[in-house]
Amino acid sequence: MKPVVHPNPWQELREYTAARIALGRTGASMPTDELLKFGLAHARARDAVHQPFDSEMLANSLHEEGLKTLTVHSAAERREQYLCRPDLGRRLSSDSRELLLAVADKPADLLLVVGDGLSSKAVHRQALPLIQAVLPYVAQLELTLAPIVLAHQARVALGDDIGECLQARMVAILIGERPGLSSPDSLSIYMTWDPNTCRLESERNCISNIRPEGLNYPQAAYKLAWLLEQAFQRRLSGVQLKDESDNPVMQGLIRPLASLPTANDA
Q: Annotated binding site for adenosylcob(III)alamin, which residues?
A: 156, 177, 206
Environment class of 207 (CB within 10 Å of its CB; exposed 0-12, middle 13-18, buried 19+): buried
- In DSSP terms, 69 is beta-bridged to 148
Helical H segments across the chain, by residue range: 32-50, 55-64, 79-84, 94-103, 120-140, 158-166, 217-234
**Residues 48/120, Cβ–Cβ less than 8 Å:** yes
- Please, what's the b/e burial string for 146-171 (b: 16 or more CB within 10 A of its CB; e: otherwise)? bbbbbbbbbbbbbbbbbbbbbbbbbb
Residue among 146, 223, 158, 170 nearest 197 (CA): 158
Q: Which residues contact 10 (CB under 8 A, 6 or more apart)?
A: 21, 22
Amino acid of residue 160:
D
**Residues 231/195, Cβ–Cβ less than 8 Å:** no
* CA 8/CA 255 separation, integer angstroms: 43
Amino acid of residue 134:
V
Annotated binding site: 156, 177, 206
* CA 147/CA 127 separation, integer angstroms: 15
